[in-house]
Amino acid sequence: MTEKSNNISPKSKSNSSEWPLFEIFIRSKNGLEHRHVGSLHAADSDMALENARDVYTRRQEGVSIWVVESKNIMASNPEKAGELFEPAKDKVYRHPTFYELPIELKHI
């Protein structure tokens, strides 16, 4: 695999009658963003929403659900993580502490 990105859907030997996999995102509280909580199989997105409600919000863990079919999510290749993320490592000048200001200075 030479590409940088890859579909997150596992390449299993499942037969074509298996329900597709969906990734589930939950907004835990008003004002917060949706976060990935896991995945489940469902025949379509409506069923995925209903099942996500039953599986992931039984104890009021959420106020909103997003579902997206796993095959529609592309993921970066872990083997390429080095070349993707290491370039940011030596860029200290993107951080506030790189700039030297006297401590007696206020509100900056």
Partner 1 sequence: MSTQDLEQRFQDRIDAGEKIEPKDWMPEKYRKTHIRQISQHAHSEIVGMLPEGNWITRTPTLRRKVGLLAKVQDEAGHGLYLYSAAETLGISRDEMTEQLLCGKAKYSSIFNYPTLSWADIGAIGWLVDGAAIINQVMLTRTSFGPYARAMVRICKEESFHQRQGYEIMLTLCRGTAEQKAMAQDALNRYWWPAMMMFGPRDEESPNTAQSVKWKIKRKTNDELRQQFVDITVPQAEFLGITVPDPEMKWNEDRGHYDFGAIDWDEFWQVVKGNGPCNKERIAARQKAWDDGKWVREAAMAYSQSQENKTQSKIA
* Site residues (vs partner 1, CB under 8 A): 30-31, 33, 64, 91, 93-96, 98-102, 104-108
Smaller CB separation from partner 1, 1 or 108: 108
Comparing CA positions, the residue from 90, 80, 70, 86 lying closest to residue 21 is 70
Q: Smallest gap, in angstroms, from Cβ of residue 6 to partner 1?
A: 15
Comparing CA positions, the residue from 80, 45, 83 lying closest to residue 65 is 45
Q: Smallest gap, in angstroms, from Cβ of residue 91 to partner 1?
A: 7
What CA–CA distance (Å, rounded) separates 10 from 17? 16
Q: Smallest gap, in angstroms, from Cβ of residue 106 to partner 1?
A: 7
Smaller CB separation from partner 1, 58 or 106: 106
β-pair type (34-41, 64-69): unpaired
Q: 60 is written with which tokens? A: 């009021």
End-to-end CA distance of the chain: 47
Q: Smallest gap, in angstroms, from Cβ of residue 97 to partner 1?
A: 8
Smaller CB separation from partner 1, 58 or 95: 95
Smaller CB separation from partner 1, 78 or 108: 108
